[in-house]
Amino acid sequence: MSNTQTKRLGLFLAILMACSIGLTLADEGRIPLPQCPTCGPPFIIDAPGMYYLSGDFSSREPIITITTGDVDIDLNGFTAESTGAASTAALVFEEVDRVTVRNGTLIGVQRAIYARGGNTLLVDDVKLIANGSAGVELAGAGQFVIRRSTILGPSAGILAFGTLDSPITGTVEHNLVQQVDNGISVRHGRTIEIRNNRIVVLGDADGIRIDNLRSCLIAGNTVNGADGVGIGIHSSLACLVQENVITGTGSAGILVDQESEDQFLFNNSIHFGSSDGIRIEGKRNRLEENHVNGHRGFGVFLTGTSMKTVIRGNSGFSNTGIPANCPGSGATPNLCDAGAGTIDGGDNVLP
């Protein structure tokens, strides 16, 4: 080999080595899925670390199963689809802590993500599609954040529940939930925040439903088209429901049931539903500066089980409640007060 050829070969090897080192540094600390050309799916993650998906994958089994904590998965813009009818979900984990999933698409027949137990789950910027139970189903995941994600399909959007003995806590924010059963449903929780989500419900379901929560914030959400209730509050205590926009519901725009107390409904805008705009059945609830318009029932309905409701600065027009059907006296199409001990601030506009 001549000196010229030797120099060229040396230069080529040097460039190749530099590129290899560059790629190694770029992915330093990250583990590809799959880790070899014939490895899966399914992918079983049994060691902590930062993982990334290297392509689109489909399997009748769960694509990714996580059996250990301290895992970060970057879907890397790719799609993982579980096609088996009996498959639990596209991504599954149980009793593991500190898991992050981001940046890609998960599709499942039953669920896109299923988590049982564990703590500290983050789902960020993921498209989730499911046809069965829910886009995301969290059964007892202690702390969770679901944000900036899109949930599609005829199943429920986000379903998160704890137990009376082990309540959950978490945040659901800046998501689009569309063409689903119940949009967002949370049960048995403490310090839950549901904010700035867009929910389009096609079917006989609720936009947002909470059950047995203590200290929650439901704010800045838009709910459209739910044949059920726009925002349903059940057996819950001390929640702030503010600045939500609700349109076109088949039942009440906002419902506070008989077992719920000390809710504060502030500055919500509720329009064009097939029933009442706001229906209050519980005790010691406060309604301020809400606007209810164009409902086929009463704008505000304080039922006979409601007690000590404070109403101030609310307004309502073009609601078509029938005063003769109101158990209370002095009803208008915009207000039926059949409750006990209502405190009227005198500045409501509910003619």
| Domain parsing of the chain, residue ranges | 88-344
- Helix, strand, or coil (residue 298): coil
| 8 Å CB contact between 61 and 42 | yes
Quote the pTM value.
0.90
| 8 Å CB contact between 204 and 178 | no
Range in 12-21, 230-239, 251-260 with the lowest mean pLDDT: 12-21
Higher-pLDDT residue of 15 and 95 is 95
Q: List Cβ neighbours of 169 (8 Å cut-off, separation of 6 or more).
A: 142, 143, 144, 189, 190, 191, 192
> Percentage of the chain with pLDDT > 70?
92
What tokens appear for 264 in the block? 């504060």
The CA distance from 177 to 159, in Å, is 12
The CA distance from 151 to 58, in Å, is 19
What's the CA angle centered on 126, arms 123 and 131, to 5 degrees? 105
Question: CATH class for domain 88-344?
Answer: mainly beta
Cis before 327 (ω within 30): no
Query: Looking up tokens 């047995």, which residue turns up?
Result: 212
Cis before 32 (ω within 30): no
Q: What is the mean pLDDT of residues 103-108?
A: 96
Could you report the per-residue pLDDT of 246-265, keeping only the tens digit for each? 999 999 999 999 999 999 99
